[in-house]
Chains A and B, each alone.
Chain A
Amino acid sequence: MKLSELIRSHPYAKYAAAVMLFMLVIWIDTHIGLFSSRHINLMIRVIYYGIVALGFNFLLGYGGQISLGHAAFMGLGAYLTANLAGNFQINFLPVLLISGFIPMVFGTLLGLVALRLERLYLAIATLGLGVTIQQVFQEWETFTGGYGGVRVPRPEMFGYVFAYSHHFLLLISLILLAVMILSYNFARSRTGRALKAMRDSEYAARSLGVNLVKYKLLAFAASSFYVGIAGSLYAYAERFVHPQIWGVELSLDMLAMVVIGGLASIPGSLFGAAFLVLIPQISRTIPLLNRITNINFILTGLAMIFVIKFMPMGIYNWLELKIIMPIIREEVQIEQRHRGLGEDDHGNPGS
């Protein structure tokens, strides 16, 4: 079978190809050492935030639900990993799955609350929940080590310890690929379509027989699972977890990744994650800008507002639609694009 046919018959083969290529580059680099460890760490960070953005996209991009409390679920995943791997010496994969499943249970509970709340009230309730859980992290010292934080051992799988960050990068690239394929299939399935219908109008979706209870819970459960896994990877990558990070700022960053990168788009999620991770690094190298403290805050905020105003479908989707498509004249049947956040939905409040 020819490669182009393979890509056409399995649309996510291009994700596999891209990730494999990336892994090949990294594998070659383990021998020649072109990237410094700082670069490798940045790539690791882009990948786990990419998983966060993929998860948050279920909620915001596909489901149209909002949450400002997901940083707490990421923190929960990270602390679970710290405890399971540190105190019980459990292997990487079971730790990863448990760190996803327990936040998923909490996410589903949050979804139950969300069933009754409109968008604005939901945003504030989740904000409150996020702050509350962060407070619990600070106070519950046996689990989290309080303000002192906890150390995390290196990931270990089948007796092999990932002591070298190149190898860990290869490992989490594979996890990213798995997550991307899962997301792809999820979005194209009956579930994904139901979520999009719910996003565009809850009332219309309900009248078409979409079970809102089921799909809202599902959106919350799936996104918390992803975010929990990303938290676990965070713990393994940074090898230290402290309570200050799991605040509202991180939840806002998650939102920014999805909005800037592209709603309901898998490459867009990765793009958004890369944007958020790299902006502080890049602005640090530009003269004049690097004198301004917190310039990355300003740039991220401006980017969010700019995207809402000019490319409400997100930068990646915009690029694909306006630049890439016309150039390669691809006549692929484009499914109906996410209409983004640009159109006024007056007369349809909060749905």
Chain B
Amino acid sequence: MHWQILIQNIVGGLETGSLYALAALGVVLIYRVSDVTNFAQGEMAMFSTFMTYTVWTYSQGAGLSYPYLTAFVVGIMLAALFGYLIERVFIRPTSESSLLGKMIVTFGLILVVNGSAAAIFGTDSHYMQRAVSGTVVVRGIVFTPHSFFVIGLALALMLGLFWMIKNTFLGLAIRATAQDDEVARMMGINTKRITSFTWIAATVLGGLAGLMIAPSTNVYTGMMSDVHLKSFIAAVLGGFTSFIGPVIGGLVIGIMDNLVGFYISTDWQTVIVYGFLILVLIFKPYGIFGESPQKKV
């Protein structure tokens, strides 16, 4: 029976890991394009999930035939709008600040978004259904189809994003802005619109991660704190300078978290994972796939 439990843990790890990867990808996308480390990513994801949840309960109440699907689609649109507004209202006006200043703006955003969520949606915890319910048993291994849905969704989103970054004009513009926004602007790229787009994309990615984790955490104002921290660790582990790094970082953290939790101790799980991160950072200060930047005085 030992190997079945191992596989179960690994699949569970892949599930949460791909959510960490999605959230981390959002963080890295924003970081590359606009030099902002968005520490509010988790809170924004929580807010998006609350909006989706509200749509879900309303469409259930209205007796729509596919309440979850409706909530899923409307939720994505609301998250996009939310990301657009955050960028427009808070980020763009402060885009001339120093790097530390921009980071502190997102710390302020954590407080603003968290406080607003509590004010609008309340501080109660709500149940959210899974995308696919039920369990499947194969050779003594218990699988939940939801985890395959999550892994598949994350995979599709990531592949789509990578394809877009590599092959479309929008992707080219994103890469150009990430490399040097001044030169990109001279080449006729509307970098403001690109920044706006990355915030929208990152918020949608975060919102989806939130929606997918909601069945196991419930929907409440603190639901994303763990995912958010782990997604940052994933981004750091993989390196902020690559797009593939955070994905691998997320999967590693997800699997490791599960295995440590099961085989060593759930109480000390967080401590061990963070210890691992700090060890990696001591030896590879820019992450496993990151490059150290060239610097000028």
Contact = CB atoms under 8 A, between A and B. Distances in A.
Interface string B95-108: 01111110111011
Interface string B103-124: 1110111111111101100110
Given A125-B278, A132-B271, A298 B103 contact: no
A183 to B, nearest CB: 21
Contacts of A128: 229, 233, 274, 277-278
A205 B39 CA distance: 29
Contacts of A123: 37, 39, 103
B297 A207 contact: yes
A116 B296 CA distance: 18
B268 interface: yes
A256 B105 CA distance: 10
B8 interface: no
A347 B229 contact: no
Interface residues of B, number: 53
A207 B122 CA distance: 54
Contacts of A97: none
B100 A294 contact: no
B140 interface: no
Contact of A203 (B31, B282, B297): B297
A295 B112 CA distance: 9
A179 interface: no
* Main DSSP-derived SS at the B contact region: helix
Contacts of B278: 113, 125, 128-129
B127 interface: no
A127 B112 contact: no
Contact of B100 (A119, A131, A347): A119
A29 interface: no
A11 interface: no
Contact of B98 (A256, A298, A302, A345): A345
A165 interface: no
B95 to A, nearest CB: 9
Contact of A312 (B101, B118, B286, B293): B101
B100 A132 contact: no
A341 B107 CA distance: 14
B295 interface: yes
B116 A120 contact: no
Nearest to B119: A292
A210 to B, nearest CB: 13
A298 B282 contact: no
B295 A351 contact: yes
Contact of A255 (B37, B107, B122, B281): B107
Interface stretch (A30-38, A266-274, A303-311, A319-327): A303-311
B152 interface: no
Contacts of B99: 119, 345, 349-350
Given A123-B103, A301-B110, A301-B112, A201 B98 contact: no
A139 interface: yes
Contacts of A186: none
A127 B98 contact: no
Nearest to B230: A128
B240 interface: yes
Contact of A116 (B109, B111, B123, B285): B285
Most buried by A among B229, B233, B240, B278: B278
11 contacts: A119-B99, A121-B285, A123-B39, A132-B274, A135-B271, A207-B297, A297-B114, A300-B111, A301-B108, A308-B101, A308-B108
Interface of B: 31, 37, 39, 90, 93-94, 96-101, 103-105, 107-116, 118-119, 122-123, 225, 229, 232-233, 235-236, 240, 267-268, 270-271, 274-275, 277-278, 281-282, 285-287, 293, 295-297
Given A127-B229, A293-B123, 15 more contacts: A113-B278, A121-B287, A124-B236, A132-B270, A132-B271, A203-B295, A203-B297, A207-B297, A256-B107, A293-B122, A300-B111, A304-B108, A304-B111, A308-B97, A349-B99
